[in-house]
Amino acid sequence: MGGRQVAIVTGAGQGIGKGIARTLAERGYDLVITSRTERDLDGTRQSVEEAGGAATIVVADLKDPGTASRLVESALTRFGRVDGLVNNAAVNIFAPFLDQTDSNLDEMIETNLTAPFFLCQAVANHWIEKGLPGAIVNISSAEDTIAYPEQVPYASSKGGLLSMTKVLALEWGPLGIRVNAVSPGSIDTEMTPEVYRRQASRLMPIGRLGKPEEIGSCVHFLLSDDAAFVTGTSLYADGGYMLQ
């Protein structure tokens, strides 16, 4: 199938998601981008268009049961195809474990793990029904492997996301569907705590925070045919932090 590829990118209104969207647009993708805030998505759409791509905005809460099918339908209606899914949207609430609340836990699990679960189902159902290949990239975190303080629900959700990535890769590999993850370390976005910025040069062998577009490059590789023999793994983009 020729033409530009099409990907769904969640949490695309800012930060890593916006960087992923622009990078994919630069490299031949049209996009369905989603977030809860239309104003942020307008900025991402402009960035995508400046990079040579087209973008359809879907303002939605990923916790709503109908959002997954709505995103797939939006891709098919606008572009006639969907080739990739990037589950990027996430929530992190910092607090000591004994101060974490039921609502904190629910928010992070529903956004970081449950929403990707149903989005993976929605795109895979389409691909399997049509006999098409596909690629999914779940944006996990270095915290799926190493521990940071005050982030138990977040780390738990990301550990679950990595496990889901592996099991889906095993189940869907024979069907031509690849499922991988990117596990970023500290990335320079508006959500990055100041303490991480101050410590970056000391903690990262590379000596700086990552850039959203660098995560976008990792995502593009895993979506592309260059990664045709890669599935069920995570690419750790952490500036070498995990080496310490």
CA 152 to chain centre: 20
Question: For 204, phi and psi rounded to 5 degrees?
Answer: -100, 120
b/e for 14-27, b at 16 or more Cβ within 10 A?
A: bbbbbbbbbbbbbb
Catalytic pick among 154, 196, 236, 241: 154
Q: Which two tokens stand for residue 82?
A: 């969907």
User: Is 154 annotated in the active site?
Assistant: yes
Question: 130: burial class by Cβ within 10 Å (0-12, 13-18, 19+)?
Answer: exposed
Question: For 165, phi and psi rounded to 5 degrees?
Answer: -55, -45
- CA 183/CA 218 separation, integer angstroms: 10
Helices (H), 113-234: 115-130, 152-172, 194-203, 212-223
What single string gives the DSSP state of each residue in 72-106? HHHHHHHHS---EEEE---------GGG--HHHHH
Q: Which two tokens stand for residue 206?
A: 């590379």
Smallest CA-to-CA distance from 39 within 63, 54, 51, 57 is with 57
Catalytic residues: 154
